Amino acid sequence: MDRSSSKKLSSKEKKLKRKEELDRKKAIDEVIRMAYAKEDHLSEFPAFLTYQRSGLNLIMQPQSGETLPAPLKRYIQALLKENMEGPYGSEWPAEEKVKKREMVASEARYIIVRQLVEDPEKHDGLWRDGGDPVVSFVQFRFLIDEEIPVLYVYELQLEKCVQKKGLGKFLMQLLELVARKNNMKAVLLTVQKRNLAAMAFYSKLKYVVSSISPSRVDPLIGAEKNYEILCKTFDPEAKAKLEVRKIKLDRSIENAAL
């Protein structure tokens, strides 16, 4: 084989690689599209629609950011303020605005947790709008990170009265089931470094600091940031991209080969 034919072959190879890459991207986009096409991500897990442990009697309901009723918007903002003002410190006013926008995004999906009580009037939590009081909520999205389809937990918020009763773990287990059922390869989330209770909770649930977390990308940048990105991966590719740190040189060699 002369030099020119070997060159031709390699350009064919490059073309093929590009096509494969494009097909891969299209397939991942389709996974995300399919996940969002489902209206209710919870009904597939009937055992997770109620929570009757530790004296709690709770139900889980699905909800979308676009159709969030005003009482739920008020509640979500109140609970976020109560739980997160401390961990965010002086960054809270700016963060509160970001969270207000994120709350109603069309991609936002929720698990709304209501407590079944005999007399809702006697409930003294943050819920102010009648009916079975809401005591907790989760906001999640399906998105692509490092070319991996992931379920990203935007919020996991429990009122004090339902904390430390296994509910947080139960909701994370449900999210992991939703992720797997919808072909996501990992669960990702962001946690404030100052939120030591949440750090301990996620560590107990076997979440690890992701290789895309600022502290793992560059310790100097990490030291300036107040948060870590944590993950739990479900397959070797996701593990390689989101858990194990990739050497930059490898990436530039890979890119050069395309």
Give residues in contact with ligand COA (CB under 6 A). 83, 156-158, 163-169, 191, 195, 197-198, 200-201, 204
The CB-of-90 to ligand COA minimum distance in angstroms stands at 18
The CB-of-160 to ligand COA minimum distance in angstroms stands at 8
Looking at beta carbons only, is 12 or 194 nearer to ligand COA? Answer: 194
The CB-of-240 to ligand COA minimum distance in angstroms stands at 25
Looking at beta carbons only, is 54 or 106 nearer to ligand COA? Answer: 54
Beta pairing class for 58-64 and 50-51:
antiparallel
Buried b (16+ CB within 10 A) or exposed e, 176-210: bbbbeebbbbbbbbebbeebeebbebbeeeebbbb
- DSSP string of 94-162, one letter each residue: HHHHHHHHHHT-TT-EEEEEEE--S-GGG--SS--SSSSPEEEEEEEEEEEETTEEEEEEEEEEE-GGG
The CB-of-197 to ligand COA minimum distance in angstroms stands at 3
User: Hey, how many other C-beta atoms are within 10 angstroms of the C-beta on 38?
Assistant: 16
**Which residues make beta-bridge pairs with 187?**
151, 232
The CB-of-16 to ligand COA minimum distance in angstroms stands at 43
Looking at beta carbons only, is 142 or 207 nearer to ligand COA? Answer: 207
Looking at beta carbons only, is 15 or 204 nearer to ligand COA? Answer: 204
Task: Specify whether the CB–CB gap between 136 and 89 falls below 8 A.
Answer: no
Looking at beta carbons only, is 165 or 246 nearer to ligand COA? Answer: 165
Looking at beta carbons only, is 183 or 226 nearer to ligand COA? Answer: 226
Report the distance separating Cα 81 and Cα 127, nearest Å: 14
Nearest to ligand COA by Cβ — which residue? Answer: 168
The CB-of-205 to ligand COA minimum distance in angstroms stands at 7
Looking at beta carbons only, is 31 or 78 nearer to ligand COA? Answer: 78
The CB-of-111 to ligand COA minimum distance in angstroms stands at 12
How far lies 54's CA from each of 136, 146, 147, 163, in Å? 16, 39, 40, 11
How far lies 194's CA from each of 54, 73, 84, 210, 240, in Å? 28, 26, 10, 17, 28
Rg (CA), the chain: 22
Residue type, 114: R
Report the distance separating Cα 63 and Cα 233, nearest Å: 25
